[in-house]
Amino acid sequence: MKFLFISYYFPPESFAASIRAYNYIKYLKDFTEPVVLTKKLPSKILKDNSLIEDLINVKIERVFDYLIFLKMPLGIRNKGGRELKRYLRPFYKRAKMLLKEENFKFIFVTIPPFELLKVALSLKRRFNLPLICEIRDPADFESGKKFKKFIKNSENIVDLFIGSHFYVLKSFGIKGYVLHGGIIEFERRAHEGFNIIYTGTLKNAMESFVRFVKFTESINYNLYLLGPEVRLKDKRIKNIGYVEYKNLKNYFEIADLFIIFRDSDTKNYIPLKFFEYSGSSVPVLAYFKNFSNLFSYLEKYKKGKGFVWGEEDKMLKFIEDIKKGKLFFEKAFKPWKDVSLELLKVINEKVLNRNNRLF
């Protein structure tokens, strides 16, 4: 059975949103026929071509980038209406063509960008198909603040909202189903030294990163940065550069501690990397400028601990206790295959079964 999967981000782009979409399609294609609608690849962007190798038999339709709309003056952007339709036309036109040609069972859209839901709502009204909307970012992020009312008002139209974590749905004041990201499964192997692993960009995290390095000067460790190079004179920092998604576990296997930094929009920041780090008993440390609900997740699932600026003494003791083997943590969450099958089951039970359109 076919369905239309609409995502602005998709492999070979290497963003977290692309990784989530990649894992869905990688496993769902064995049970369904997804047709992906996404944007044409920008010429200058980091690519992970290994991801697309698993999707060679998936139909992927690409349309021109409409980010020009997102850069419009706020006054024009808030008007919506004709301006909105004009700048979303590439996605809408191609989706409309696909829906006329193919016998789809439902439409799945993943946001942000939040404007993409307006495309999906128009398609639902025109073709009378069930609509599932996944929301990855909470309403208090800068990208989501302007759309809180819009998302809430669409609750009676969207057949099912999927939240990447509990606080996403709560921030918009909507009901839905929580589907956490999948883990990267790995087995620890013997290695030298105490290794701390950080993955991804340091955008919106640089201040916390620099503070961490400064306040942990008394601790001997290897801090592996799997992402953009950082020019900070410290022998403990190992600039590895970008690592393909499929090769991340090679570094995860030598990890003694995973770390996450955040400078702003901390309250409901629960990144995909947290779930991917959870594939073994290796602990996770979060060091943020302000409190985050991620700290609650770390405690609830016995995965580690979170600290804010000013709690450096507690953080140092936590790291030393880990080094001495005084603290123990657990594996949590599901592999991506199980997450994808859970998604399919939820869609069947909560949407298609209700509409007599079972797979």
**Which domain CATH number covers 199?**
3.40.50.2000
For the segment 269-298, the average pLDDT, to the nearest whole number, is 96
Report the percent of the chain where pLDDT is more than 70. Answer: 92
Is the Cβ–Cβ distance between 306 and 294 less than 8 Å?
A: yes
Query: What are the tokens at 98?
Result: 């696909």
pLDDT of residue 84: 44
Shared domain for 106 and 210, answered yes or no, is no
The whole domain housing 317 covers: 195-323
pLDDT higher at 49 or 89: 49
pLDDT of residue 79: 42
Q: Where does residue 254 fall: left (phi above 0), alpha (psi -120 to 50 degrees), or beta otherwise?
A: alpha
Shared domain for 151 and 284, answered yes or no, is no
Count of domains forming the chain? 2
pLDDT of residue 207: 96
Shared domain for 166 and 309, answered yes or no, is no
Length of the chain counted residue by residue: 359
Query: What are the tokens at 134?
Result: 């996944």
AA letter at 155: E
Shared domain for 199 and 299, answered yes or no, is yes
| 74, pLDDT greater than 50 | no
Shared domain for 163 and 236, answered yes or no, is no
Q: Taking all residues of the chain, what is their mean pLDDT, rounded to a whole number?
A: 90
Shared domain for 9 and 144, answered yes or no, is yes
Shared domain for 105 and 200, answered yes or no, is no
What Cα–Cα distance (Å) separates residue 37 from each residue in 7, 64, 95, 287, 288?
Answer: 6, 11, 7, 37, 36
Shared domain for 12 and 161, answered yes or no, is yes
Highest mean pLDDT among 44-58, 160-174, 229-243: 160-174
For the segment 95-102, the average pLDDT, to the nearest whole number, is 95
With respect to residue 328, please indicate whether it lies within any of the assigned structural domains. no
Shared domain for 151 and 257, answered yes or no, is no
With respect to residue 73, please indicate whether it lies within any of the assigned structural domains. yes
| 66, pLDDT greater than 80 | no
With respect to residue 15, please indicate whether it lies within any of the assigned structural domains. yes
With respect to residue 68, please indicate whether it lies within any of the assigned structural domains. yes
Backbone phi, psi, residue 162, to 5°: -115, 125
Q: Which stretch of DSSP H or E encloses residue 58?
A: none
Cβ-based neighbours of 168, under 8 Å, separated by 6 or more: 135, 136, 137, 138, 178, 268
d(CA 5, CA 20): 12
pLDDT band at 1 (very low <50, low <70, confident <90, very high): confident
With respect to residue 239, please indicate whether it lies within any of the assigned structural domains. yes
For residue 23, which of 339, 342, 242 has the smallest C-alpha distance?
339
d(CA 298, CA 286): 9
pLDDT of residue 111: 94
Is the Cβ–Cβ distance between 119 and 37 less than 8 Å?
A: no
Shared domain for 42 and 176, answered yes or no, is yes
H helix runs in the chain, sequence order:
16-28, 49-52, 67-70, 74-77, 81-87, 89-101, 116-127, 148-153, 166-172, 206-215, 248-252, 272-276, 294-300, 312-323, 336-347
Over residues 307-342, the pLDDT tens digits come to: 999 999 999 999 999 999 998 999 999 999 999 999
With respect to residue 357, please indicate whether it lies within any of the assigned structural domains. no
Shared domain for 288 and 203, answered yes or no, is yes
Is the Cβ–Cβ distance between 225 and 206 less than 8 Å?
A: no
Tally: H helices and E strands in the chain = 15, 13
Shared domain for 309 and 178, answered yes or no, is no
3-class secondary-structure state, position 66: coil
Over residues 141-152, the pLDDT tens digits come to: 877 788 999 999
| 86, pLDDT greater than 60 | no
pLDDT band at 73 (very low <50, low <70, confident <90, very high): very low
For the segment 32-47, the average pLDDT, to the nearest whole number, is 88
| 69, pLDDT greater than 70 | no
Query: What are the tokens at 17?
Result: 């949103």
Backbone phi, psi, residue 296, to 5°: -65, -40
Neighbour order of strands in the sheet with 104-111: 59-63, 33-39, 2-7, 104-111, 131-135, 160-163, 177-178
Query: What are the tokens at 142?
Result: 């800068």
What Cα–Cα distance (Å) separates residue 111 from each residue in 61, 115, 132, 144, 308?
Answer: 18, 8, 11, 10, 29
pLDDT of residue 350: 92
| 76, pLDDT greater than 50 | no
Q: Which stretch of DSSP H or E encloses residue 80?
A: none
Query: What are the tokens at 68?
Result: 């020009």
* pTM of this prediction exceeds 0.95: no
| 162, pLDDT greater than 90 | yes
With respect to residue 331, please indicate whether it lies within any of the assigned structural domains. no
Comparing 33-42, 171-180, 236-245, 347-356, the range with the smallest average pLDDT is 347-356
With respect to residue 329, please indicate whether it lies within any of the assigned structural domains. no
pLDDT of residue 44: 76
For the segment 196-214, the average pLDDT, to the nearest whole number, is 95
For the segment 202-229, the average pLDDT, to the nearest whole number, is 94
Cβ-based neighbours of 291, under 8 Å, separated by 6 or more: 266, 267, 306, 308
pLDDT band at 139 (very low <50, low <70, confident <90, very high): confident
